[in-house]
Amino acid sequence: MALHPTIAEILANLPHPEGPLDPAAMRAGDDAQVPPLEERLPLHTVDDTIAHTPTGDVPIRIYTPVDADTYGVLVYFHGGAFFLGSLETHDHVARSLAHETGLKVIAVDYRLAPENAFPAGLDDCYAVVRWVADHGDELAWDEKTLAIAGDSSGGTFVAAVAALAHDDGFERITHQVLYYPSLDLDFDVDRYPSLRENAEGYGVETAGLKGFNSFYTDSGADPADPRVSPLKRTDLTGLPPALIVTAQYDPMRDEGERYGARLTDAGAEATVSRYAGANHGFVQHFSWIPDYHQVFAETAAFLRGDRK
């Protein structure tokens, strides 16, 4: 299938950035695209608070879809190449996840590179997951479902958190959901065919990956470290069931699909779902297109235990 025509039209009209990347300017540009509150999907409640954790105070946003006695919980890590993204830029993703899954969604405002050295962001994400388990009563957690989900670099954190939890003997995470994850920060173009097949013209380009991720790697994140490149972890046994969503026209498509294959080989449950005609970032940028909004219903079905 060709690139979705709506996506193709929008990409064709996007300006091409020139010169060195400027995190402050790029963040401001992303913030300018956030819709006003009255245009966002309404939920029962949306509350900002602080998770007081052993690694520090982490801002979080709690999305409660309906009034109920108890809830399953999904902890969400936004994307943005480890230096972009916020509770605001990905608010619509968290709202859609809460609405479609019926779970209480907790979005993590983790510390960003380059201002914060590795592993600050990863520590925040893992700490909030542990915080949820420790504060189940006040969250009305049903103590059954504790899922983690993330898009792009947020998907990197999902895989890394799942592994850290397993190594620590913390077995409360029930599901991991990764949307077009970046799982191997070694961007040698010969490592995965999709790095060459989708190198140019689809929004995120192979030649730009090293530069975008340099804010993270220059802050101490070593691509050889499995916490940074989860595909470099040698043993994937014992990890929670995974839904890995990939995009046909994503340079990083194959590493996500490789993660699914390796999980299966290790005896873990893994579902890989490739979205035809989609590009990297489609959950954040193009989930208003009906074909791609389906990703939230698929996520809900996976979390319920429905199988294709």
**pLDDT digit string (tens) for the chain, length 308 residues:** 999 999 999 999 988 777 799 999 999 999 999 999 999 999 999 999 999 999 899 999 999 999 999 999 999 999 999 999 999 999 999 999 999 999 999 999 999 999 999 999 999 999 999 999 999 999 999 999 999 999 999 999 999 999 999 999 999 999 999 999 999 999 889 999 999 999 999 999 999 999 999 999 999 999 999 999 999 999 999 999 999 999 999 999 999 999 999 999 999 999 999 999 999 999 999 999 999 999 999 999 999 998 65
pTM confidence score: 0.97
What burial letters (b/e) apply to 11-32, b meaning 16+ CB within 10 Å? Answer: eeeeeeeeeeeeeeebbeebee
**Active-site residue set:** 152, 250, 280
* 269-to-176, 243, 295 alpha-carbon distances in Å: 10, 9, 19
Q: CA-CA distances (angstroms) from residue 234 to 230, 261, 279?
A: 9, 13, 29
